Chain A
C-alpha cells in the first residue's frame, strides 16, 4: 500500500473521532513516514499494520480516554459516543465482522419470535372474547332450555379464557419492558 493511500484510508477510518484527535493522529503518522524517508508513492505495508488495525488501536485508546474523562457524567450524548466508538472499534477487527453479523441475526430472530408470540396471543384473546359474547347472545334465542345453558356456559368459559390471555399478555409486555430497561440501565453504568 502506498503511503498516500495509507494516510487517506486512515483518515477515513478515523472520521468517528473528534477533529483534533484525528488531525493529531494523521500528523503523527505522516511525520513518522517522512522521518523514515518515504514519499507519497512509497510502499508502507511493511511499516505499519493495515490502516484498519492502526485506526482500531487509536479509536480504542480514545474510547478508554473518553470513559475515563466522564466517569460520573452519564449524559445520553456521551453514552452514545462511547457505544458508537465501541461498535466501531469492534468492527475494525477483521475476525469480529462475522461475529457481529451472527449476533445481529440472532437478535433479529429473537425480536421476530417475541413479536409473533405477542401478536398470536392478542389475536387469540380477541377471537375468544368475541366468540364468547356471540355464544352468550345466541343462548337467549335457542329453542330448548338445555341448549341455552350449554351455549351460555360455553360463552362464559370463552370470555374467561380471553381475560386470562389478555392479563398474561399485559404481564408479558411488562416483563419485556423491565428486561429492556435492565439492559439499558447496565450499559449506562458502564
Chain B
C-alpha cells in the first residue's frame, strides 16, 4: 500500500468495522487486512485503547468449549465514529482538491 495508515485513522477504521457488526479479534483483523496493510498484532493495542477509552466494550461468547471475546461499539464510540467520519470527509475533500481529482473538477464546472 502506498499510503500509510496513521493511528487516528486506524482507530476510525476499527470503530467502523465494529459498528457494522460485533467482531472478535481474528475476524476484525481479517476485515481490516482486506483493505489496509497491517500485521496480525497491530489491532490489539488499538482495541485495548478504544476499550479503555470507553468506545468499545467486550463480551464473551462460548464457542467450541472456549470463549470468544467479541468487541461491540458503545454510544460514546458511535459519537467518536461520526466525528471521525466528518473529519474524514473534510480531509478527503482537501486532499482531493490538492490532487486535482476528477470529482472536484466536475463540481467546479457545474
Contacts and interface: CB of A to CB of B under 8 A. Distances in A.
Secondary structure of the B side of the interface? Answer: helix
Interface string B25-52: 1110100000000011110111111001
Interface string A22-61: 0011011101101110000000000111000110011011
B7 to A, nearest CB: 9
A48 B41 CA distance: 6
16 contacts: A21-B48, A25-B44, A25-B48, A28-B47, A31-B66, A31-B67, A32-B40, A35-B24, A36-B26, A48-B39, A48-B41, A54-B41, A57-B41, A57-B44, A58-B45, A62-B48
B78 interface: no
Contacts of A48: 39-41
A49 B41 contact: yes
Which interface class (under 10, 10 to 19, 20 to 34, 35 or more) fits A?
A: 20 to 34
B87 to A, nearest CB: 19
A65 interface: yes
Interface in A57-86: 57-58, 60-62, 64-65
Interface of A: 21, 24-25, 27-29, 31-32, 34-36, 47-49, 53-54, 57-58, 60-62, 64-65
A31 B24 contact: yes
A32 B47 CA distance: 13
Interface string B42-76: 10111111001000000000000011110000000
Contacts of A64: 49
Contacts of A36: 26
A34 B66 contact: yes
Contacts of A62: 48
A29 B41 CA distance: 8
B44 A58 contact: yes
Contacts of B46: 61
Nearest to B28: A32
Interface in B55-109: 66-69
Contacts of A21: 48
Contact of B49 (A27, A32, A47, A61): A61
Q: Which of B39, B44, B52, B69 has the most CB of A within 10 A?
A: B44
B48 A24 contact: yes
